[in-house]
Amino acid sequence: MNAPIRRLSTVVALLFSALLVSTTLIQFVQARSLNERPDNRRTLLATYARERGQILVGGAPIAKSVPSKDELKWLRTYPKKDLYAHVTGYYSFTYGAGGGIEGAEDSLLSGASDKLFYRRVSDILTGKEQTGASLELTLDAKAQAAADKALGNQRGAVVALNPKTGEVLALVSHPSYDPSVLSSHDTTKVVAAWKKLNADGDRPMVDRAIAGNLYPPGSTFKVVTTAAALESGKFTEESQIPGPATLDLPQTTVNLPNDDRRPCGPNDKTSLTHALEISCNTAYGWLGMQVGADAFRAQAAKFGIGDRLSIPMTVTPSSVPAQLNEPQLAQSAIGQYDVRVTPLQMAMVAAAIANKGIVMKPYLVSKVTSSDLETIDEAQPEQLSQAVSANTAAALTRMMETVVKSGTGTAAQISGVEVAGKTGTAQHATGQPPHAWFISFAPAQDPKVAVAVVVEDGGNAGSEAFGGRVAAPIAKAVMEAVLGR
């Protein structure tokens, strides 16, 4: 009789122990992850019971909550709609907080962040209604509007940075969408809008500036190749290098031609400056092989290529292939083969050259404030790396100025302002027009803004200057907006 009772007691004890362990796991170990799940309706209901913090640009809200008369006390609204859609992201009762600042800084905006713990306690003790923190962004409203207007109905992205601080001044991705259709309290309409947006082949919810399928950078990457060559000490701006109509590549029967099938100078020779000015493929294919794969990859890494960044949205890392034979290296040196980048990364390359070779960490949130405007947190500029020496940066600046003055980037010229830039046309799919690129900064000798533009399928396979005519005017419009021109 005692043995069965003991066995039953043991089973009961084990069951209670299992219950205790599972309860502890759920209430303590897994509590944060469960609360942060976007489909946790209990958490969502709790957050809708208090006002969510605003997202601000120049003191004006681009995302805010307004009182609602239905079950959910607050309705999230986006006054500028698609202009800032990829910056704000969306806040939906059906799909949670996603994309942009809404997703990346949800805990601050909702008031659940550990940074707000003591403020929450104070609000409870004083009986004050709890609210989320507001976030002031680094964006320049005029630059954002100029980028959006200039990109128009073309697919692509524009990124502008303050070279000296890393502040993101413009972040535009097209096509865009209206996040307010996802914040509606009408779940039927929200679900229908969600399905439509996700079924759209142009992928309007993808932030092309920092994520999604990365782009081959095309000839804008010749700036990185030039940096590696100058840093090696074996080349100067005026070094004479081969620039034949077609470069005979080793280990393959496929050669590397210039777009116009013509040599880049008399006797198949050209200076390094002139090669960048006219974007000579054969000269840069040869130069890449002279620099070597290790030095080429190392130089790219110094510009931040391969780094995992958060601005605070997660940025997809750009990449250069880990293994490169000589033909692959020649193609990579002109921004082709398997080199892949984000527009943000190429803006960082331009910004580093503008900032005497120093790469600054890009950031989008300048200040976090409470509902009574008290500063909770404030961003400080942070250096990531020294990509090149100050002397190399100065040489690159002079070379990039010639691109805009008399080369493939003349469409970026601004009256009374020295502009440094580099065009690019990037092959990406058989039978498709190349992507058109432009990176730049201005004023060249005292830079206030660095810009990267990519226009999908916006180039012409036979003309680097054609690509410059598509992307360079967009960059010009953004630079003029920042400079007050």
pLDDT tens for each residue of 300-349? 999 999 999 999 999 999 999 999 999 999 999 999 999 999 999 999 99
User: What share of the chain in percent tops pLDDT 90?
Assistant: 75
Is the pLDDT score of 145 beyond 80? yes
At residue 49, the pLDDT reads: 75
Is the pLDDT score of 464 beyond 90? no
Instruction: Work out the average pLDDT over 87-91.
Output: 97
Is the pLDDT score of 118 beyond 60? no
Q: Judge whether 132 and 110 are in contact, CB under 8 Å.
A: yes
pLDDT category of residue 32 using cuts at 50, 70 and 90: low
Catalytic residues: 219
At residue 252, the pLDDT reads: 87
Instruction: Work out the average pLDDT over 361-387.
Output: 93
Is the pLDDT score of 48 beyond 90? no
Which two tokens mark 251? 């280990």
At residue 262, the pLDDT reads: 93
How far apart, in whole angstroms, are the C-alpha atoms of residue 439 and residue 83?
Answer: 22
Is the pLDDT score of 1 beyond 60? no
Instruction: Work out the average pLDDT over 207-235.
Output: 96
Tell which wins on pLDDT, 129 or 307: 307
Among 35-49, 94-108, 135-149, 226-240, the minimum mean pLDDT is found in 35-49
Among 58-62, 236-240, 429-433, the minimum mean pLDDT is found in 429-433
pLDDT category of residue 485 using cuts at 50, 70 and 90: confident
Q: Judge whether 340 and 216 are in contact, CB under 8 Å.
A: yes
Instruction: Work out the average pLDDT over 136-160.
Output: 97
Contacts of 201 (CB under 8 A, 6+ apart): none
Q: Which residues on neighbouring strands pair with residue 442, listed in sequence order?
A: 449
Identify the residue whose tokens are 């961003």.
379
User: Which pLDDT tens digit goes with each residue over 427-454?
Assistant: 888 878 899 999 999 999 999 999 999 9
Contacts of 1 (CB under 8 A, 6+ apart): none
Is the pLDDT score of 247 beyond 90? yes
Regarding pTM above 0.95, the answer is no
Tell which wins on pLDDT, 41 or 292: 292
Is the pLDDT score of 95 beyond 60? yes
Contacts of 291 (CB under 8 A, 6+ apart): 225, 228, 229, 232, 299, 333
pLDDT category of residue 120 using cuts at 50, 70 and 90: low
**Closest by alpha carbon to 348, among 143, 161, 194?**
161
pLDDT category of residue 82 using cuts at 50, 70 and 90: very high
Is the pLDDT score of 130 beyond 80? no
**Closest by alpha carbon to 283, among 299, 259, 302, 300?**
259
**Closest by alpha carbon to 190, among 177, 176, 173?**
177
Is the pLDDT score of 372 beyond 80? no
Instruction: Work out the average pLDDT over 370-399.
Output: 94
User: Which pLDDT tens digit goes with each residue over 386-440?
Assistant: 999 999 999 999 999 999 999 999 999 999 999 999 999 988 888 788 999 999 9
Beta-carbon-side half-sphere exposure of residue 99 (alpha carbons within 13 Å): 26
State the amino acid at position 135 in one-letter form.
Answer: L
At residue 36, the pLDDT reads: 58
How far apart, in whole angstroms, are the C-alpha atoms of residue 101 and residue 366?
Answer: 12
Reduced to 3 states (helix: H, G, I; strand: E, B; else coil), residue 314 is strand
Q: Judge whether 34 and 26 are in contact, CB under 8 Å.
A: yes
Instruction: Work out the average pLDDT over 448-469.
Output: 83
DSSP state of 153: T
Is the pLDDT score of 128 beyond 80? no
Q: Are strands 375-378 and 309-310 parallel, antiparallel or unpaired?
A: unpaired
At residue 150, the pLDDT reads: 97
Which two tokens mark 81? 């709609």
Is the pLDDT score of 127 beyond 60? no
DSSP state of 303: T
Q: Are strands 134-137 and 365-369 parallel, antiparallel or unpaired?
A: antiparallel
